[in-house]
Each structure stands twice: as structure tokens, then as C-alpha cells.
Chain A
Amino acid sequence: MLESPRQFLSRLIARLHPRRWEREFDEELEAHLALLIEEYRRQGLPPEEAGRRARVKLGGSEQLRECRREQRRRLWGGDFLRDLRQSRRLLRRNPAFAVVALVTLALGLGAATILFSLIQRELWQPLPYPHASRLVAISLRYRTDSRQGVSSLVNAGMFQIWQRQATHFQHMSLLEARGLILTGRGRAQIIPAARVSANFFRTLGAPLRLGRAFTPAEELQGQDHEVILAWPLWRRLFSASAASLGARLVLNGTLYTVVGVLPRGFYLPRLGRLAGQFGSSQATPPIQMFFPLGLAGWETHLCICDQNFIALGRLRPGISPVAAGRQLDLINRRILASLHESKIHTQTFLTPLQRVLTAPYRSGLLLIAIGAGLLLLLIALNLANLLLARNSGRLHEMAVRSAVGAGRGRLLRQLLSEMVWLLAAGFALGLLLAWAGLRLLAADTAIGLPRLGGLHLTPAGWAFAGVVTLLAGALFILPPTLHLLRQAAPESLQVSQSTIASHRHSLHLREWLSGTEIALSALLLTTALLLAASLRQVLRVNRALDTHRVLTLKVVAPLSHGRLAQADAQRLQFFRQVLDRVRRLGDVRAAGWISQLPLEGQTWTSGIQFFGLPARPRHEGNFRFISPDYFRAAGIPLVAGTTLPPDRADVAIISENVVRQVLGGRNPIGMKIMESGEQHVWLRVVGVAADVRADPEKPAPLMIYQPMQDWPGIDYSLVVRTAGNWRRLAGSLPPLIWSLDSNEPLPPAAALSHLVSAATHTRRFQAQLAGAYGLAAALLAALGLYGVLSASVVLRRHEIAIRMALGADADAIRRLVLRHTLRLLGFGLTSGLLLAALLARSLSSLLYQVSPMNPSIYLAVALGLSVIALAAGAWPARQAGRLDPARLLHAE
């Protein structure tokens, strides 16, 4: 019952003029008194006596004072505040309900708000560049007669033609991520950097804070010794001093000049993701420094090869990605014709930068968010269930109050005011949890989300939490409350039978809620098990690599734009010396080098060709450079032939799948192989190694291992197999390497198993979160079921007593309750598993080698929930079996 605007206004006026109200009240009483005195005088009393009697009659000053107090209370908030005060007392008197409701509500709300903020930040918020929607990443799909593939990287020579001819783009830029070694400032360190086109910052629309951008001349090799620093590095190296412009840095052994500084909030997406060359779960560090492309001659060589660069474009206003893509397709057709590549067809894809960046984790995030939403729904259902149970105890009170004249509106207001406390406290606590959770997430670098850094509770997050609180509140408060009010008519005082009927009605409602809870938890548990089974599959296929016995340590090549800062011979000498010394350490069984570790993604991809076999169809292989002992160190078995002989350059080892897929199973030993495009550098195959994955969830690529003498000027990883404690070995490796070259920046050494866990991090995170949701859901469902069953036992005690009196033993009674349990379980499980089966197909992009309809998973969920439900029903069943019929019937 809301007050009318006029009432509110008069209350407001009275509040502004309390004196006036008092004055009028006094005047009214005086008039009353005068009338009373007049009447007593008419009865013939003397004036003095009439006055005394009139004052007595009008009554003690007590009532009048109460009247004034009431008015004042009313002025300061009225009924609502009084209700609030009263309901706070009620909640305090029943703390178990209040605490359970508050904690579950806050947890659910906090989780939902965190997920909302994450999604808003990662998926919806535009990238922080002007007109960011016009930024696109360019990728190519290749199709030959037999194969097709997509490359997110492009050839620089091809790109230069695009840049000259594609008019639909305002700007186009190339970039490539690359670490540079900074020396001369303490211990050598790797700075995550990127080489970029001169117009890169103009393409993004990001202005510099200090200095200048690169010039087109600097895109050429030899002119490229300038750097632009991102704000964090500028602050770290130069304490954010403007005088640092023109300062020199030694990078990869070469002097570079600082020509510019980026503003503080400059955002560059993590490039590893953009390039698609790392496993989707691996976080690459944010870029801290930029240097010019400095393209070497071989890099601009136009061919369908050497695809090493990320290409970004800014579309002209009004041009759609599709139209711009068509234009590039036309250009590409001319390029292919000029290369006489008539068998290759290409198609260009322009994807909005935002979509490219969010694609790898979109479905995962949405899945987690749906889970959080379901959990919140479950929490609300459970609270509704609790509230119904609590309300049935208050039916009598409400009926009495209703009988003595409290209107429904009045009762509703009182009941709701109780919940206002709960919702307000739940909202506050939930927001607090969300705030804390978001802070923790923002600091967690292991989660591979690119924009976590700036994550915080936004106004939209507040609003979301508010709306969700109200929705959850409406869901769990209104049905039980309205139900109570409907039942709380004064008549219900009359006959106890109608009370029982009303209890039965509320029990029925609770049965529905409980069944729905079981269904939702079945859905969540199925999802969790499907994800867990996928994780297990991924770990299973990567089991060979999941070992602590092998230690890896990356040694970065002091490379400057494709040119080695040290002579090849000097570098090889260093590699050999490291191996010699490592082998002398205790417990070391084998040690070797490789250019790129397993699971670190596909790189050095190129066509492979066997001597004497047709060049078509084209097979893409991954090229790796190793030292002879690498296979023994990494534990990769050689299935045929031998390892590489030392000091031979013209030999190679191929992986098993090359033999299967390219050679049709014939014996490869002694055959000659080469990288297509490399003219007549034939390598003799000396051995075949087992397949090794480059991505934990994709089949192993075709692999060609060459001696590291062929390409010493790149990053290499040391691989050491130990029989002892890997941690001790990890501690002794860096000093050993620094004793040979103090300028090596060394990241911490890691066991090979860390590669597996890093590559499966996101999957593990999803599975764990879904598991936690599922368990929480099952727990809530069990609680709800327990509540319903015990309420039903209390309600049916009469019937049970009669059954017992007629000869049913305790077992029969227990079976009665268990049948009830099974009925609810059956309803919940059937609908939940059906729902799961319907929805599971939408999960398939997140599953790995697990069918969304895997029967054993559904069976496991059914079994698990049955055990939980029977456990929840056991106690009420026991209680029912223990009822004493004689006492019960007597009491009735």
C-alpha cells in the first residue's frame, strides 16, 4: 500500500513544519475539551468540577503523548522504517536462515558480477583506438587441388603489393613479435618487442607521447636502429624522463636510438594470439618496445612462402571488410598469375581486430558465464525453498494478524521488509566479493585473457549486480510470500484441515523447486564431467611430454633482424661448450638443443619435397634444428635409422607421419628431401622419429629435423634429461651458462611437464570451475531435497502413525520416504539429463575427443546424483521410521 502523492506531500510539509502540526493538534484538543466542559455544565456541574471531569474524560496525557510520538515516528520514516527495524530483529532471531541466505546469495551474485565484468571487458568493450571497428586483421585461406589451409601470417613481398594497390584501406601495417636482448643495464634481459611498419601507429590511431614515429626509410634494412618505448619500459629504464629521447640502448649487441615514447594507456593486443602461432592457452608478454621493420632482401621475396608477418589494416570509412577482401582477392589473383601458381587459389579474410582477439576464449567465457547464471538460479530456487519452509511456520501468526485487521498490503510490506535486509546485505557482500575477485583476476597473468590488466568493477557492473539482485530477489521472495499471504486469510484460523491443505500446497511447490534444483545440478555436473573428460583426453595424448625428468631452458640468440651479432662458428662453439659442461653435471643422462620445443606451436612451416617424387600435392612441414642428442634428452624414440651424425650439414630426420602421409609407408632412409623453394639443398634422411605435437589439441605436424649447424642464429632451447631432482638442476644451469656468456638473458628453467600444464591451463581452469559449479549445485540440490523430505515427514506423521498402527513396520515407513525421494530424483534427473543432452552439442567446440553424448558420463551423473539424493533422504527416512504411533495419535 503506497501513499498517494498528496499524503506524501502533507507528510513532507508536516516534517518541514513540525511546530505547526503540534500547534494544530493542541488547538484541536482544546476545542474538544471546550465541548466536553460545555456538556458537563449542561448536566449541571459547577465550572470547576466540569473542567476536572472533562480533563479526565479526554484522558491521560499518556495517549496524547503516544499520539505525538507516533506522528514524529511517522515523520521520520514511518511504517517502513519500523518494519525494517522489526524485521531486523526477526532475522536476528533466526540467524541460520539469514546466514545461509546471505552467504549463498552473495557468492552467486559475486560470481555472476565477476563473469559479467570479464565478458564486458574482454568481449564487448571496444579496443581503445579511435574508430576501432575499422581495424581488421588480414588472413589468407589457401586451396590447392588436394589441400587447404588458413594462414594468419602473410608474406612481406605480397603485402607490399597490397599496400600499393589496395585502395579500400586507409593504412596497412606489418608487424612481427620478437624479443630483443638488452645489455649494459644490469643483468642481460629480454625485452618483448615488435618490428612494425612506419605507419603502424597511424594505422592504430595511437598518437605518440614524445618524439616521432618511424619513417618509411627506416623500413629498410640498415636504417632501422631506432626504438619507440612503451610507457612502462620508459619509466623503468629512464624514470619517465623526457631527456631520454636520443638516448642509446644496446639491443642484441647493436646500438639503438630512442626516438619516441608511447602514452601511458597505450594498448597492444598480445601478439602471440594475433599470430595464432602459440597455443591458445599460452599468454605472451605485452610488447614493451617497437623497432622498424628493417626488411631483409629475402623477406620481401614474393612467393607463397615465408609467411612471417601479421598484417593489420584500417578500412576507409564506409568500406565493409567483405568489399576490401574482394579487392585483395583480385590483387592476389594477379600475383599468383605472375608467379605461375595456377594450381593455388587464395581467399582473403578480413576479421575485425576485436573478433580476432576475442575468438579463442569467447565460447569458454560464455560457458563459464552460463554456469554462473545457472548456479545463481539454483541459489534463488534453494532460497525460495528455504523461505517456503520458514513461512509455513508463520502461517498462524499471519492469519491472526490478518484477523485483527492488518490488510494484505500491510502484511506484504512487513514480509518484504524482512527481505530488504537480506537483499541489501547480499548485494553489498556480493559486490565486495566481485570487487575482490576482479582485483585478483586482474593480477593473474597465468589466465590467458588479453585485457585482464585494466579489469575493475565498472558502473555497468554495479548496475548488473543491482538488476540481478532484484531479479533473484523477485524469484525467491515473491512466490513464497504471495503463497503465504494467500493462505493467511483469517478463515485459516478456523479449521486446522485447511491449514494442512495449505501446507500440502506449499509442499507441492517445494517439490517442484527441489526437482528443478536436481535437474539444474544434473546439467551442470554433465557439463563439468564432459570438460573434465576432455582435459583427461588432452593430457593423455600428451602424456609422453608430461614429465619432470626433462628440463628445458630457452637461450635467446643475440640476433639483429636476421643477422647474427656473433659469428655462426662462435655461436655453435657456445652451444657445444654448454652441452659439454651440462653433461658433466651429476645425474644428467642426456642433453641437447632444439630450435622450438614441443607444444610451442607450429613455426618454420614450409612445403616439403622428396627427390624423385612429384612436387604436387604440396605437403606443409615444420622444420626444426637440433643437436644429435636432442631425441635422447627429450625422450622421443627413434623408430628407424639413427640420429644425426655430428658435424654433418646435409642430413635430416623425419617424423613417422611423414613416412605415412607423404611416402605411403615406404622406407625413407637414404631418400633425399628438401624445403620447397630452397634450390637443390637436398638433405639425406638418416632416421625416423616418433611424432610430437606442436599444439596439445591438434595432430602432430609433419616434422623435419635438421642439424643446428644449418641455422645457428636463432633462439634455442636446452633440453636436459636428469635422473635426479630437476629443481636442483634448474638452479645450477644459469650459473653454468653465464660462466660461458654473461650476456645471456635467461628465463627460469622449467620441466617439460610445465609446457603441458601451460598449454592446458585454460582447459584445466574451465574444467575446475565447471566442477566447482557442479559440486555446489549438487550440494544445494541435496539441501533442498532434505528440506522437502523432512517437511513431508512432519506433515504426513498422522498418516504414518495410522499406517504403523495398522501394522506397517519401520522398514515399510522408511521405504515410503525413499519412494518419495526416488520420485523427486527421477523427475529431476530425467529432465536434467534431457536438458543436458539437448545443450551438450553447443559445447562440442570446447570438447576434445569426447562425444557430447558420451553415455558413461550421463550414467556417472545419474549415479552420483542418486547417491547424493539418497543420502539427503536417509535422515528424514530414519526419522519417519522412528515415529511413535501411540504417542502421536494420542496427541492428536
Chain B
Amino acid sequence: MLEDTTRLDLLQGTLDLMVLRTLLALGPQHGYGLARRIEQTSGDRILLNQGTIYAALLRLQQRGLISAAWGKSENGRRAKYYVLTARGRKRIERETAVWNRLAAVMERFLKLAPEN
């Protein structure tokens, strides 16, 4: 069931929040750095096609939650750096609360003992 494509739908909102939180923690970062950090944070339990991150970045950019500018990467190449906007910060607060609540609810459900 976890391999089901419905999971992707659910993941979409999840990935967006992960990107936002990572940017909040790291400050300006390029796509590669973000993908790497998300994998690390999840204890490599989330294995991304790293390209997926660009769909999320595009989406967040369009919603005005992050902005992007060209800069230089560690290896001296040109890279696009993403940074949180004020709106993005506000969004994180809200989404975090929502997720916490949902997680709490889910937990209660998952703890339900089977009847009979």
C-alpha cells in the first residue's frame, strides 16, 4: 500500500513542508543541498528521486513562499540558491501546527485496539 500512487499525493504536501523547514534550518541553499539534507534528516528513510525536489521548488516559488537567485556553489559552479520569504516563514508555522494535529490524530487511530 505504501507503494501506491496515492502516497505521492500525500507526499506532495509533505515534501513542500520538508523543503521549507530545511531552508529555515540551513538558510539559502541550492537544490542538491536541499535534497541531500532532506535524505539525511529522514535518516535516509526517504529515498528521493532528487529531481522531485525541483517540482516542489517550482511550486513553492510560484506561491511566493521561497525566492531564488543565482550564486556560486562550493565547487565553484554557478548554482541557483533558494531562500525563504516572509510569507514562507508564516506558512511554516501554520503547516507545522496542522501537521502536529494530524499526526496526533493519526496516532490515536493507529493505537486503536482491534475489536473482537
Interface status of B40 (Cβ within 8 A of chain A): no
User: B99's closest neighbor in chain A, by CB?
Assistant: A405
Known: A28-B80, A36-B32, A405-B16. 13 other contacts (CB 8 A): A3-B62, A4-B64, A28-B79, A36-B50, A58-B49, A58-B50, A63-B51, A64-B54, A71-B58, A78-B62, A402-B98, A407-B91, A490-B102
CB–CB A66/B55 < 8 A: yes
Q: How far is the CA of A71 from the CA of B61 in the complex (A)?
A: 11
| Cβ distance B16 to chain A, nearest Cβ, rounded Å | 7
Interface status of A7 (Cβ within 8 A of chain B): yes
CB–CB A31/B78 < 8 A: yes
Given contacts A34-B75, A35-B73, A404-B13, contact A7 B62 (CB under 8 A): yes
Residues 45-60 of chain A: 1 if any B CB is under 8 Å from the residue's CB, otherwise 0? 0000000000001111
| Cβ distance B80 to chain A, nearest Cβ, rounded Å | 5
- How many interface residues does chain A have, given as a range? 35 or more
User: A402's closest neighbor in chain B, by CB?
Assistant: B98
Chain B residues proximal to chain A, CB less than 8 Å: 9-10, 12-14, 16-17, 30-32, 35, 48-52, 54-55, 58-59, 62-64, 73, 75, 77-80, 91, 94-95, 98, 101-102, 105
CB–CB B54/A29 < 8 A: yes
4 shortest interchain CB distances as A-B pairs? A59-B49, A405-B13, A59-B51, A35-B32
User: A74's closest neighbor in chain B, by CB?
Assistant: B62
Q: Pick the contact of A490 from B17, B64, B98 — CB < 8 Å? A: B98
Residues on the A chain within 8 Å of B94, using CB: 407
Interface status of A891 (Cβ within 8 A of chain B): no
| Cβ distance B77 to chain A, nearest Cβ, rounded Å | 5
Residues on the B chain within 8 Å of A59, using CB: 48-52
Residues on the B chain within 8 Å of A71, using CB: 58
| Cβ distance A17 to chain B, nearest Cβ, rounded Å | 16
Residues 70-108 of chain A: 1 if any B CB is under 8 Å from the residue's CB, otherwise 0? 110010001000000000000000000000000000000
Interface status of A444 (Cβ within 8 A of chain B): no
User: B13's closest neighbor in chain A, by CB?
Assistant: A405
Residues on the A chain within 8 Å of B49, using CB: 57-60, 63
CB–CB A31/B50 < 8 A: no
CB–CB B64/A32 < 8 A: no
Q: How far is the CA of A3 from the CA of B62 in the complex (A)?
A: 8
CB–CB A490/B51 < 8 A: no
CB–CB A67/B75 < 8 A: no
User: A405's closest neighbor in chain B, by CB?
Assistant: B13
Would you mind naming 16 contact pairs between A and B with Cβ atoms under 8 Å apart? A28-B80, A31-B32, A31-B77, A31-B79, A35-B75, A60-B49, A63-B49, A64-B51, A64-B54, A66-B55, A67-B55, A67-B58, A70-B59, A404-B9, A405-B12, A493-B105
Given contacts A28-B80, A70-B58, A490-B98, contact A63 B32 (CB under 8 A): no
Residues on the A chain within 8 Å of B79, using CB: 28, 31
Residues on the A chain within 8 Å of B63, using CB: 1
Q: How far is the CA of A32 from the CA of B54 in the complex (A)?
A: 11
Interfacial residues of chain A within 1-50, with CB under 8 A of chain B in the complex: 1, 3-4, 7, 11, 24-25, 27-29, 31-32, 34-36, 38
CB–CB A27/B54 < 8 A: no
User: B51's closest neighbor in chain A, by CB?
Assistant: A59
User: A2's closest neighbor in chain B, by CB?
Assistant: B64
User: A408's closest neighbor in chain B, by CB?
Assistant: B94
Given contacts A35-B32, A38-B75, contact A491 B101 (CB under 8 A): yes
Residues on the B chain within 8 Å of A74, using CB: 62
Q: How far is the CA of A29 from the CA of B58 in the complex (A)?
A: 13
CB–CB B50/A490 < 8 A: no
Interface status of A403 (Cβ within 8 A of chain B): yes
Q: Pick the contact of B50 from A3, A7, A57, A404 — CB < 8 Å? A: A57
Q: How far is the CA of A31 from the CA of B17 in the complex (A)?
A: 24
Given contacts A7-B64, A59-B50, A405-B16, contact A28 B55 (CB under 8 A): no
Residues on the B chain within 8 Å of A32, using CB: 30-32, 35, 50
